Chain A
């Protein structure tokens, strides 16, 4: 039984709450059933147990090194990539015709969750499958033939190469250039920074999916194209030659040290070849296909690390005796109690459970929308897509921002030992920190939510979401015990709508700075409410199970634990919306730069 996630909970969310087997009614997923899903999850757990989790600490302590232009990674990376490549896991979600097994995203999300909970430092395969997916979708048949199978087999690593020193959050400022050649090919020059898995000795080649500006292209995002830029390029005679992508630097990072983050220079010798994917100047919209998946994947990483931290701190709290209970303080002859019996420790554990399981539920909800959008048509497809677009920034941000706080509480449960290298919490605390930064910082996600997703098509996406939430509220109202929570969620939706309608007029007046100045706080409010919806959904399933049949002792414990955590979430976390809503409606403006800068 793994010590980094709870399989019973994963099964509950995947099967009982989000009903993954229902997807198999659609032709596209018809080759699957619950047994294939279970087998996939078992296999991944076996890989995670044997090839990932045992090396969690070691991979962190022996980070990649750049020496003489070569990057050496931990020796365990190679067998891991071989196992997942040969196991068919990197491309499991690809269509049958493109080397995959049409595994639903919902199950793919669980696969990622298990792996990242086991060892998030081995963050390689998501990048490869995302990059391969871009080539498979937008590449010419020759490009697809040359790259996709090798990438899905784990022999070649994929990357997403967007960031430049002056273009982090602001991708419109990218300057890496592609110069067209008379023969129709391109030469690339420029620099990319922070490129995860940008170079490593565990694979035979690295394939960068790179955002580049073709010489003479329009300014801004409308002039960005997507290129395939490999480390080694294939010549016509079948040989591989160095493609003039130089590893000029490696970052020494706070966490996630198992994966190198590279500074790359292209075209030092004027010999870096790139291949255009799809049409020129449409690169950013193509890349968004990968980025949206990657954003959900980062949310999963946040929830997964928080899950590992929760498991570790729960185990510790059950075994660590310290102090006596508050009402037995003076009974010094009686043995010390386990710290889990102190209300403050119990609160910290409940907080973690609420964040981990609430986040994972939101992530599976998003993955389900992605699967449904894939298999449906017309207006239905449009609606699923809109809902997914609305939830994507939230599914990236809530599990990561709250995940950071959750791991923080996990570490606190261990007291001084949490601060030492004797326990894994300090590493988890470092590892999770990146998740609110890459794939678009929390600030950028929040602007995307409020500035774009809330307003597209005249606010259709939030209308669809609130209609979904209403269905959950109606269902919860059929259980007397859940009625108070259904009522609370209804009130929260009204509060959120009120806040939104206070802010929208600023956008209508064209004052975007005022509109978005507290977007991050709006995101926090939105996330709290969305996850409250997910907890009510879980509460309904648990309540049904408890009232409909006799679930057996261990299942009763499980479902009661769900109800208890739902209650915790509503009574301890949801009230935080009051402060947020108050601030968001407060007319005082303190953060917008004025003509005369106020001293900090």
Chain B
């Protein structure tokens, strides 16, 4: 079985976010980057499936060399090789088209990725890739088994779960508890250095999105302490300052 896992390189969930160049550029200095947490689940399940069924596991990232540490982590966790499409990932359509271009050439049985990235949270790349390749896609998948070339999986839906079965090839957007995150072991860390990381140029495309600027949510106001017995002051402040009454 040939598996492709697409990973994003995203700021750590606790990173302090700021912008430069008139609020048009995300400021990366001092920010710790990680593999997108949902992608990490997809990767963990892919490693298990490869252990069960054999075959190959490739990780793919659309990004600049800034993503290399995250790619290397994925290799340390158990991917056999990696492809980085060397470009700034500008929007979901662009990323999906780049992934589809590679997938077209390599005919994977299973393409896994997170249900969404945690930076822009669009959650549409899996659907777009499926559409571009003309194969089914599902998300968010929380359980996945492969038997006799068929996928059996569970998807979270409003108020419950949906159990599905589909033929391969498939594109799936994953989330917990599909597998537990894997921690690279020492041997994996050392072998990751010699596993191939193929850097390929992006396929030229027109920009469909023009980013004008970012804004941050208004900073949290200072906490005002009100004596427990002073309900009147509380009501007054909720009216005049918070304007919620």
Q: Is the CB of B29 within 8 A of A101?
A: no
Q: CB within 8 A of B190: which of A36, A46, A554?
A: A36
- The answer, yes or no, to whether B192 is at the interface (CB within 8 Å) is yes
- The answer, yes or no, to whether B2 is at the interface (CB within 8 Å) is no
Task: Report the separation of the CA atoms of residues A88 and B186 in the bound assembly, to the nearest whole angstrom.
Answer: 5
Task: Report the separation of the CA atoms of residues A35 and B73 in the bound assembly, to the nearest whole angstrom.
Answer: 9
State whether A40 and B69 are in contact (beta carbons under 8 Å apart), knowing that A335-B225, A336-B225 are contacts in the complex: no
| Residues of A contacting B27 in the complex (Cβ-Cβ under 8 angstroms) | 552-553
Most chain B CB inside 10 Å of its own CB: which residue of A7, A86, A89, A552: A552
Q: Is the CB of B186 within 8 A of A87?
A: yes
B213-225, CB under 8 A of A: which get 1 and which 0? 0000000001011
- The answer, yes or no, to whether A79 is at the interface (CB within 8 Å) is no
Q: Is the CB of A46 within 8 A of B183?
A: yes
- The answer, yes or no, to whether B14 is at the interface (CB within 8 Å) is yes
Q: Is the CB of A87 within 8 A of B183?
A: yes
A541-556, CB under 8 A of B: which get 1 and which 0? 0000000000111110
Q: Is the CB of B190 within 8 A of A43?
A: no
Please provide the chain B residues from 65 to 110 with a CB less than 8 Å away from any CB of chain A in the complex.
68-69, 72-73, 76
B45-80, CB under 8 A of A: which get 1 and which 0? 000000000000000000000001100110010000
Please provide the chain A residues from 551 to 569 with a CB less than 8 Å away from any CB of chain B in the complex.
551-555, 558
| Residues of A contacting B32 in the complex (Cβ-Cβ under 8 angstroms) | 7
- The answer, yes or no, to whether A484 is at the interface (CB within 8 Å) is no
Most chain B CB inside 10 Å of its own CB: which residue of A86, A336, A554: A554
| Residues of A contacting B24 in the complex (Cβ-Cβ under 8 angstroms) | none
Q: Is the CB of B69 within 8 A of A38?
A: yes
Most chain A CB inside 10 Å of its own CB: which residue of B16, B185, B187, B193: B185
- The answer, yes or no, to whether B12 is at the interface (CB within 8 Å) is yes
Q: Is the CB of B29 within 8 A of A36?
A: no
A84-105, CB under 8 A of B: which get 1 and which 0? 0011110010000000010100
Q: Is the CB of A42 within 8 A of B73?
A: yes
Please provide the chain A residues from 27 to 56 with a CB less than 8 Å away from any CB of chain B in the complex.
31, 33, 35-36, 38-40, 42-43, 46-47
A523-556, CB under 8 A of B: which get 1 and which 0? 0000000000000000000000000000111110
State whether A33 and B193 are in contact (beta carbons under 8 Å apart), knowing that A42-B73, A552-B29, A554-B29 are contacts in the complex: yes
- The answer, yes or no, to whether B25 is at the interface (CB within 8 Å) is no
| Residues of B contacting A101 in the complex (Cβ-Cβ under 8 angstroms) | 186-187, 189-190
B151-172, CB under 8 A of A: which get 1 and which 0? 0000000000000000000000
Q: Is the CB of B190 within 8 A of A31?
A: yes
Task: Report the separation of the CA atoms of residues A307 and B112 in the bound assembly, to the nearest whole angstrom.
Answer: 40
Task: Kindly provide the distance from the CB of A57 to the nearest chain B CB, expressed in whole angstroms.
Answer: 22
Q: Is the CB of B184 within 8 A of A552?
A: no
State whether A83 and B183 are in contact (beta carbons under 8 Å apart), knowing that A35-B72, A38-B69, A551-B29 are contacts in the complex: yes
Task: Kindly provide the distance from the CB of B149 to the nearest chain A CB, expressed in whole angstroms.
Answer: 31
Q: Is the CB of A39 within 8 A of B184?
A: yes
Q: CB within 8 A of A87: which of B69, B185, B192?
A: B185
Task: Report the separation of the CA atoms of residues A352 and B14 in the bound assembly, to the nearest whole angstrom.
Answer: 24
Q: CB within 8 A of B186: which of A46, A103, A336, A553?
A: A103
| Residues of A contacting B190 in the complex (Cβ-Cβ under 8 angstroms) | 31, 36, 101
Task: Report the separation of the CA atoms of residues A594 and B154 in the bound assembly, to the nearest whole angstrom.
Answer: 83
Q: Is the CB of B29 within 8 A of A555?
A: yes
- The answer, yes or no, to whether A575 is at the interface (CB within 8 Å) is no
Q: In the complex, which residue of chain A has the Cβ closest to the Cβ of B180?
A: A50
Q: In the complex, which residue of chain A has the Cβ closest to the Cβ of B27?
A: A552
Task: Kindly provide the distance from the CB of A54 to the nearest chain B CB, expressed in whole angstroms.
Answer: 15
| Residues of A contacting B224 in the complex (Cβ-Cβ under 8 angstroms) | 335
Q: Is the CB of A31 within 8 A of B185?
A: no
- The answer, yes or no, to whether A142 is at the interface (CB within 8 Å) is no
- The answer, yes or no, to whether B30 is at the interface (CB within 8 Å) is yes
Q: Is the CB of B29 within 8 A of A40?
A: no
- The answer, yes or no, to whether B18 is at the interface (CB within 8 Å) is yes
Task: Report the separation of the CA atoms of residues A46 and B188 in the bound assembly, to the nearest whole angstrom.
Answer: 15
State whether A36 and B189 are in contact (beta carbons under 8 Å apart), knowing that A46-B183, A335-B224 are contacts in the complex: yes
| Residues of A contacting B184 in the complex (Cβ-Cβ under 8 angstroms) | 39, 42-43
Please provide the chain B residues from 28 to 49 with a CB less than 8 Å away from any CB of chain A in the complex.
29-30, 32
> Other than the known A87-B185, A555-B29, what 18 A-B pairs have Cβ atoms closer than 8 Å?
A1-B14, A33-B193, A35-B72, A36-B189, A39-B73, A39-B184, A40-B186, A43-B184, A43-B185, A43-B189, A46-B183, A47-B183, A86-B185, A87-B183, A552-B27, A552-B29, A553-B18, A554-B29
* B interface residues, Cβ below 8 angstroms from A: 12, 14, 16, 18, 27, 29-30, 32, 68-69, 72-73, 76, 181, 183-187, 189-190, 192-193, 222, 224-225
Q: 6 closest A-B pairs (Cβ-Cβ)?
A: A88-B186, A552-B29, A554-B30, A1-B14, A87-B185, A39-B189
Q: List 14 A-B contacts (CB under 8 A).
A: A1-B12, A39-B69, A39-B192, A40-B186, A87-B183, A88-B185, A88-B187, A89-B186, A103-B186, A552-B30, A553-B27, A553-B29, A554-B16, A555-B30
